[in-house]
């Protein structure tokens, strides 16, 4: 569904337009949220985040703005941001809360817990560092390495040239390596 199709349907019936948009993009949004929250969230967390995303899409959609036919990018951006925020919220909550009801549950050995915690901290640090690169570099990195989009697909979403996307990606990776080295992370070359 394009922006124009949505606008036409929206002018006829707001409810029908929202329902059509929901059914068109539910799998796309769910995939984004699932990929972000599968390591820390429950099924209910994922479903609640998906609902929040569509609510935000419907509330933030302004029929006066022109999205140039790219509703998927608009929805994907909101979904990505909401899912990352929910991931941070759940991770922060999970790291600081101990439930007495779960006291009898099996706890992994200390090394495994330590490894999982370290990996989570590294992921949070990496996300912060990527975000510190600013737009559009951070968007390019997330789209390329978290969503496995090609340079051409990213270029289309960002209204850029694929060559420019590749160049910015290359420079952003170089910056990331420098920042990570300065932070004391050992890097492996693939």
CATH of 1-97, one of 3.40.50.720, 3.40.50.300, 3.30.420.10, 1.10.1740.10: 1.10.1740.10
- Whether residue 17 contacts residue 10, with contact meaning beta carbons closer than 8 Å, is answered with yes
* Chain segment 28-58, per-residue pLDDT in tens: 899 889 888 888 888 888 889 999 998 888 8
Domain ranges of the chain: 1-97, 109-190
Asked, as a colleague might, if the bond just before 136 is cis with ω within 30 of 0, I would say yes
Q: What is the DSSP string of 49-95?
A: HHHHHHHHHHHH--TTS--TT-HHHHHHHHHHHHHHHHHHHHHHHHH
pTM above 0.85, yes or no: no
| CATH architecture of the domain formed by 109-190 | Orthogonal Bundle (1.10)
């Amino acid at each position: 569904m394009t922006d124009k199709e949505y606008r036409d349907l929206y002018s006829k019936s707001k409810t029908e337009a929202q329902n059509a948009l929901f059914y068109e993009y539910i799998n796309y949004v769910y995939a984004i949220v699932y990929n972000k929250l599968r390591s820390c969230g429950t099924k209910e967390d994922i479903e609640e985040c998906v609902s929040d995303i569509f609510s935000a899409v419907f509330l933030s959609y302004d029929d006066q703005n022109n999205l140039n036919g790219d509703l998927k990018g608009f929805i994907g951006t909101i979904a990505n941001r909401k899912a990352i925020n929910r991931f941070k919220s759940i991770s922060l909550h999970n790291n600081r809360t101990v439930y007495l009801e779960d006291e009898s549950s099996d706890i992994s050995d200390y090394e495994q817990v330590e490894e999982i915690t370290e990996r989570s901290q590294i992921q949070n640090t990496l996300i912060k560092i990527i975000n510190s690169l600013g737009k559009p570099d951070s968007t390019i990195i997330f789209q390329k390495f978290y969503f496995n989009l090609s340079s051409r697909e990213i270029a289309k979403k960002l209204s850029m040239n694929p060559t420019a996307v590749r160049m910015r990606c290359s420079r952003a990776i170089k910056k990331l390596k420098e920042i990570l080295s300065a932070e004391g992370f050992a890097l492996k070359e693939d």
